[in-house]
Amino acid sequence: MNKPLRRIAVFCGLLVLTLLIRVNYLQYVKADSLADDTENRRVNIERYATPRGDIIVDGKAITGSVETTSGDYKYKRTWTNGPMWAPVTGFSSQAFGANQLEKLEDDFLTGTDDRLFFRNTLDMLTGKEKAGGSIVTTLSGAAQKAAFEGLGSKKGAVAAIEPSTGKILALVSTPSYDPSKFAGTSKADAEAWAAVQKSKNPDDPTLNRALRETYPPGSTFKVVTAAAALENGVVKGIDDPTDAPDPYKLPQTSTPLTNEHGECENANLRYALMVSCNTVFAKMAHEVGNEKMIEQAAKFGYNNKELDTPVRAAQSVYPEDNQPQNALDGIGQASNRATPLQMAMVASAVANDGKLMKPYMVDQLKAPDLDTLTTTQPEQLSQAVSPETAQKLRDMMETVVNDPQGTGGKAKIPGVKVGGKTGTAQHGLNNSEKPYAWFISYAKLPDGSAPVAVAVVVEDGSANRDDISGGGLAGPIARDVMKAVIDSKK
């Protein structure tokens, strides 16, 4: 071969090698980033080329797919009772992407998940259309409906858990939105999307308040402070005097802390929780100390940055704080912040003999032929308190509901042991805004089982300030959710 031909051959060989390297780079190194590129319409065209798999509650689909009449996308997502279920499913929009379960399990719902490879291969060989898998949730339709209707037009959230397993039974956030209204690409979809954005709607309907919003937990946190005091020997028995003054001067200050109700001077722990004595619990939080309070809160789930349900919950925070702030943290104020899910976890651990189970809302993933591919196994997060302390906490929480002086009487259910704790959390600079109404509770049946624990928070801007209380606004909602779970098991 002469020299010029040899040079041309080498040059052509280098070109072919360059092409091979480029193709492999695109197919393997850049594959994921190209697939996730918002400008790559082929991914969305494929995603909506077939009906999505469904999200299942109580054996029935709460989602669906409908064939479109125009555009590149053949199918779009639909929801049954969209506003009620949006805090669970999230949205899946041809124009605006997806969130929550619809996003986290997108590959499985669209049928592209590796776990469906064998099934998809068989379908390809037999000429059957590719189909997505289904997500079977832990949710109770009855509990979700009771929570959604209980909140009604009020702003707030409800989280309900099965204490023995951690299964999430209800997850509601209001105001909500209907994801069906912006599932497509039309002008109406764009207008519906804009209407639920925080920039247009200050109530922020797409915010999942049950998982992603943190609030001062108010007096519901006194259950955790009581647990810390009992576990650390600050107080022995729940009927022993606490030597708490009324008012109580916050440590290192001249600022007096007072009480809204009751005769709290030297009150015992049972009475202090029943009428919600600020002075008793602030003093106990100080005596336990900030480090031990953080430890106890963490055992109930606080300060966990990676709590996935599988939707990640916002971190609830019991902070490192100075002495006066720690005393206020101990009554659920200052920098203490918690999600509704977190406070349901507190009630759940108390009901479950101190054992805290990891909350989860996906029970099973099923292939299109209904074969079960994965089943979530319950997982213990911690032993929040000893069984003995848990029993003492239950005794106190049941007094809150059953004693005529207690603040939780509206949560009573005939024939069922109900334990609860109310909370009215201050809100705004110098408590300038209307407070949040809280209620946490659990139900125990005559056979000793505890089918449900609930947390409710209500941000009711329309209520008269003097009428806002955990027992008044949130307690009846918690009662109805617990009753719905109990009745559904009969």
The Cα–Cα gap between 258 and 126 comes to 75
The catalytic residue among 219, 276, 348, 441 is: 219
The Cα–Cα gap between 141 and 62 comes to 10
- Angle subtended by helix axes 340-351 and 222-231, to nearest 10: 40
Q: 155 near 460, Cβ under 8 Å?
A: yes
Helix, strand, coil share (%) of the chain residues, nearest 5: 40, 20, 40
Residue matched to tokens 């020997």: 233
Closest residue by Cα to residue 77 from 375, 123, 100: 100
As given in the structure block, the two tokens for residue 259 are 């009480």
Has 173 been annotated as catalytic? no
Write the single-letter amino acid at 91.
Answer: F
Residue matched to tokens 């125009």: 70
CA dist 125 → 119, 128, 133 (Å) = 10, 8, 19
Question: What single-letter DSSP state applies at residue 250?
Answer: P
Q: 120 near 420, Cβ under 8 Å?
A: no
The Cα–Cα gap between 306 and 288 comes to 27
- Point out the residues that are catalytic: 219
